[in-house]
Amino acid sequence: MKNRVVITGLGAVTPIGIGKDEFWKGLLEGKNGIEKITRFDASEYGAQIAGEVKDFDPAAFIDKKEAKRMDRYAQFAVAAAKLAIEDSGIELEKENCDRIGTYIGAGIGGIETMHNQYEKLFAKGPSRISPFFIPMMIANLAAGHVAIQFGLHGPSECVVTACATGTNCIGDAFRVIQRGDADAMIAGGTEASISPAAVAGFAAMKALCMDHNDDPAHASRPFDKNRSGFVMGEGAGIVMLESLEHAKARGAHIYAEVVGYGANSDAYHMTSPAPHGTYQAKCMQLALDDAGMKASEVDYVNAHGTSTHLNDEGESEAIKAVWGEAAKDVSVSSIKSMTGHLLGAAGGVEAIATALTVENDMMPPTMNYETPDEGLDLDYVPNKAKAKTVRAAMSNSFGFGGHNACLLLKKYAE
């Protein structure tokens, strides 16, 4: 018999707030986290805006010496993990930490470190490269640092599936607890790739919004007819997952129960989703089947909603295919309208938003939704948070390479 799995801790480091309370308040208020890039001089770049994490002080979460040996993406992960652990109320010194694991991924990893070290290499030669270059750069060190920081000896892995990373990490960690290989898992995604090469690279692909450099607050507009590309963001979203038995034994607060997980591949194109959202729909159906639920029992979808033409169109088609007649009743919103697209961290942050939606019966809005697009006729929760009983909710993530991942959460009941 499979173990039931619940979410007991939330750790958010985002462009609209650090900590779950500030993050949730920002979502419900429709707070804008997108501004002019300050991480480097982007004045000559096609895209000059991003969702940066403001006022982040690594020293608030990590020893200063250790923080200097981490790329920003790993610092975010350790900070979000610490917030999730504290929020869960778990006392690790009383736990069997051989039974607590870490599944944390990044879509890109330490690209800022790579940029800085390459500059040193070409300007001053190979002898000036830092001995910490490789461990600061590689994507698995977010999970590694979290495990080291908190002494967690359970399964530790790093999923790298582009923008599906955070959701795959949580889904795979869910499976670990389901089958009894761990009592608890710290899981999610992290990213800090607002760097010259990454911004230039995404802009060269014509993936980024480049027509709102002087109006960043209105740049990310998922599902709106005038959407023109995604806006890069950064941050981390980490959740504490536990078996229900373990959570109840220590009297933990339960935000939501994880009941379904689906993952598949478009197997279609490096960057474009398969036409009509066919395999996105199949992925959502996998999550529903895993939970033994019908689409009509799900009241809310936290959409991938990137603000690109192909994604938003395909995801809307996929939702209609799965929900059928009930599609008119399901509410759909994209928090990327406020945070930008956090790439590998998006699924983790959006899982937190989904868990809070289930707990509070409040759905965050899709901001900047002004002009309906032909065929995109779902309830996108436009511009204002909406109260609604949410029995269950789905969180979608779809990444370059055709990686699809969907999580299904529901209200906890005995």
Contact between 394 and 406 under an 8 Å Cβ cutoff? The reply is yes
Query: Among all chains, which residue has been given the structure tokens 């930008």?
Result: 340
Return d(Cα 350, Cα 345) in angstroms, integer.
9
Q: Are the beta carbons of 332 and 301 closer than 8 angstroms?
A: yes
Alpha helices in 125-210, H assignment, sequence order: 133-137, 141-150, 165-178, 196-204
**What are the Cα distances from residue 330, in Å, to 254, 302, 381, 390, 406?**
24, 11, 10, 10, 16
346 with 340: CB under 8 angstroms? no
Element (H, E) at 403: strand 403-410
Is-catalytic flag, 304?
yes
**Strands 362-363 and 386-387, how do they pair?**
antiparallel
Q: b vs e for 24-46, b when ≥16 Cβ sit within 10 Å of the residue's Cβ?
A: bebbbebbbbbbebebeebeebb
Cα–Cα distance, 407 to 347 (Å, whole number): 9
DSSP secondary structure code for residue 3 in this structure: P
Residue with tokens 């032909």: 374
Which secondary structure element, helix H or strand E, spans residue 309, and what is its range?
helix 309-323
CA contacts within 13 A on the Cβ side of 6: 20
3-state secondary structure of 162: helix
Q: Select which of 145, 212, 246, 304 is catalytic.
A: 304
Asked if 163 is an active-site residue, the reply is yes
Tokens of 387: 């109260």
Contact 152, 90 (CB under 8 A): no
Question: Are 164 and 347 a contacting pair, CB within 8 Å?
Answer: yes
Catalytic residue among 145, 212, 246, 341: 341
Which entry of 163, 169, 209, 283 is annotated as an active-site residue? 163
Single out the residue of 149, 172, 150 nearest to residue 159, CA to CA.
172
**Contact by Cβ (8 Å): 236, 13:** yes
Give the HSE-up count for residue 169: Cα atoms under 13 Å, Cβ half-sphere: 42
Residues noted as catalytic: 163, 304, 341
